[in-house]
Chain A
Amino acid sequence: MQYLLLIYSNEADGQTMTDAERGAFMDDYRTFTQRIVASGEFKAGDALHPVATATSVRVRDGQTLLTDGPFAETREQLGGYYLVDAENLDRAVEIASQIPSAKHGTIEVRPIMVWDTQA
């Protein structure tokens, strides 16, 4: 099954890191990514620019409305994701727990929906 692992963490935490801490953190991410690429479970993954760069889009009564920033104020922001192919939820949770940000943020594990093509 495919799972999207959504990485939520407090952006402010990243800004207070020293260069050495940031370097070690990025090394952890590189190691983690290489491991799931090697196991064949990695499908995709990216980091996102901070929420300050986000634009929210809504269409109401045919009008496209744009808002600066994310829809809601939250303590933790979506900062990146991995798309993995894991045997089951237990394995997906195991992978999620190895994402370096899991130590201070939250990883949301969402199964990817399989569409019924004949419906």
Chain B
Amino acid sequence: MLALLARTTGGDLLLAEDVLQQAIIAALEQWPDRGMPDAPVGWLVRTGRNKAIDHIRRRATWDRKAARLLAEEAAVAPPPELSDAAIPDERLRLICTCCHPALALDAQVGLTLRTVCGLTTDEIARVFLLDPRALAQRLVRAQRKIRDAGIPYEVPGPDALPARLQAVLHVVYLVFTEGYAATAGDALVRGDLCDEALRLGELLVAQVPDQGEVHGLLALMLLQDARRDTRTDAHGRPVLLADQDRSRWDRRRIALGMAALGAALRRGPPGPTTLQAAIAAEHARAPTAEATDWAGIVQLYALLLQAAPSPVVRLNHAAAVAEAQGAAAGLLLLDGLDEDPHLARGHLLPAARAELLRRLGRGEEAADAYRQALDRVGNGPERAWLTARLVEVEGE
């Protein structure tokens, strides 16, 4: 509904929210007496739209933009007896505006969750452990920028769409990983985030079916989500991919993910998201951890390193090489990553090194690396896991 009203207000989300609220108040006043209309959503949208048009008319600055919007609005306005099913899907337009690269990334995520997914500011603040008032201010600031800087309320043309979709996919995946990573916050809301991200992924597939990366993202999220319940044990501690109970992986999600991956691969050379989905598919396909096609995964990581090189991809590539060609080969690749400033601060690199050193029987060096990782790790479960591993190698 907000998306439809935002169309009337020319992307002014503040005004759209305002008139939607007014329409809901009008409904609360009128429906008890007159009965609920046949198409309640259509009624709300129509009422909100009329209020928005009134507002634009009243607005003192009768500028060119308002006049043009009203002219366009008159051209696209639906007939008064619109059935709910016939309401056009405006959500792609809305999500493209919310994920505009001229907005800060956290504002893109927040706006998408609130305006496209319908989460409240309080819910979003709880998930990201932010002060609700500070978040509300950030979102209002972003909405003002959309209005005042002339961020277009439209789906970009065919030339600009692939690049802009990358920004949209990034935001959707960020929503998913925030729900998926058991770092902190309200667990219930976090699970909902995965579902919201999946819904957004399905929406994008329906709206822009010709873009391979859109299918790739849905595939990636489905294949990872299939493992959601097996990623932690009863005490919330992380369970490694190799140790997860594969019989509890969600087969239906895997099948849907495989189908989405197939759709992505049929639409041309795979982009970075599709390659990540292909890697997730290799894991999902393996009946046991030992049966994993690590040589195939190494090849996919090599392609991913060409498409989207990043320190984390290099780290994962090294881990895959260690599985395919032995711990020593993997360790050699890790040595090249020391200079990266991002990895130098985090716990991932020493944790990966510790694991490979342990496999090579170099217990003392492994213990040092585990200690280094422990110095840098933040949250509870991962800390507990690293500590357990340290105790293990110290005992060997």
Contact = CB atoms under 8 A, between A and B. Distances in A.
A101 B150 CA distance: 24
Nearest to B146: A89
A86 B152 CA distance: 11
A1 B150 contact: yes
A90 B155 CA distance: 11
B61 A88 contact: no
B150 A118 contact: no
Contacts of A88: 150-152
Q: Which of B100, B148, B150, B152 has the most CB of A within 10 A?
A: B150
Given A89-B102, A90-B156, A93-B102, A114 B61 contact: yes
B117 to A, nearest CB: 24
A87 B154 CA distance: 12
Contacts of B152: 87-90
A118 B62 CA distance: 10
A101 B19 CA distance: 44
B339 interface: no
A3 B151 CA distance: 12
B151 A89 contact: yes
Contact of A118 (B60, B63, B100, B102): B60
B149 interface: yes
A90 B160 contact: yes
A interface, over-half SS: loop
A88 to B, nearest CB: 4
A92 interface: yes
A109 B149 CA distance: 9
A111 interface: yes
Contacts of A118: 60-61
A93 B102 CA distance: 9
Interface in B93-128: 100, 102
Contacts of B65: 1
Contact of B150 (A111, A116, A117, A119): A111
A92 B148 CA distance: 13
Interface residues of B, number: 13
Instruction: Determine chain B's interface SS by DSSP, over half rule.
Output: loop
Interface string A1-13: 1010000000000
A113 B149 CA distance: 9
B63 A114 contact: yes
A99 to B, nearest CB: 17
A6 to B, nearest CB: 14
B160 A117 contact: no
A2 B156 CA distance: 20
Contacts of A92: 150
B96 to A, nearest CB: 10
Contacts of B102: 89, 93
Nearest to A1: B150
Nearest to B151: A89
A118 B156 CA distance: 35
Contacts of B60: 116-119
B148 A111 contact: yes
A117 B62 CA distance: 10
Interface string B129-167: 000000000000000000011111000100010000000
Contacts of A109: 149
A90 B341 CA distance: 33
Nearest to A93: B102
Interface in A1-29: 1, 3
B19 to A, nearest CB: 20
Interface in A94-111: 109, 111
30 contacts: A1-B65, A3-B150, A86-B150, A87-B152, A88-B150, A88-B152, A89-B100, A89-B102, A89-B149, A89-B150, A89-B151, A90-B151, A90-B152, A90-B156, A90-B160, A92-B150, A93-B102, A111-B148, A111-B149, A111-B150, A113-B148, A114-B61, A114-B63, A116-B60, A116-B61, A117-B60, A117-B61, A118-B60, A118-B61, A119-B60
Given A113-B148, A117-B61, 4 more contacts: A90-B152, A90-B156, A92-B150, A116-B60
The 5 A-B residue pairs with the shortest CB-CB distance in the complex, in nearest-first order? A88-B152, A118-B60, A1-B150, A88-B150, A89-B150
